[in-house]
Amino acid sequence: MSGPAQFRKNVKISERHGAGEWALERVALLALMPLGLWVASSAFTLAGAGYDTVAAWFANTLNAGLAIATAVIFCLFGALAWKVIVEDYVHKPASKGLCLFLVNLVFFALAAASVFFIVRLALGSAPLPAGIGA
């Protein structure tokens, strides 16, 4: 257990080491800013385009790579943001642990599905494993 609370300039020093998560959240947000502009410009460019045009756009390695990076970084940022919300508003340790597990599971599944389908589009809609989809 930790010792007595420590103060610096009459402000309690955090006993939990959240500075790394705070910095990671800021770096993710910083990366999402230009990626968000790229997504907006790409969506504006592809608006009204046919399937073949969009498939050709995803076939470009740079576009597919940036789309994957955007999806993964967005999911990381979302998971970190929801972690803060759960830690602030869920007070029972068992409930907090379950909520954090579910939040991480949802964002991991979302990131994995995003990567899977972006790669699938980039490879020209490669067929799914037997028994999945049409």
Q: What are the φ/ψ torsions at residue 5 (nearest 5 degrees)?
A: -60, 140
**C-alpha span between 64 and 67 (Å, rounded):** 5
User: CA 105 from chain center: how many Å?
Assistant: 12
Q: Tens of pLDDT along the chain (134 residues)? A: 456 667 777 776 766 667 788 889 999 999 999 999 999 999 999 999 988 898 899 999 999 999 999 999 999 999 999 999 999 899 899 999 999 999 999 999 999 999 999 998 898 875 556 556 55
Would you mind telling me the total number of residues written for the chain in this entry?
134
User: CA 92 from chain center: how many Å?
Assistant: 26
> What is the architecture, at CATH level 2, of domain 19-122?
Up-down Bundle (1.20)
Place of tokens 């609370």: 5
Any idea where the domains of the chain sit in the sequence? 19-122
Q: pTM of the prediction?
A: 0.79
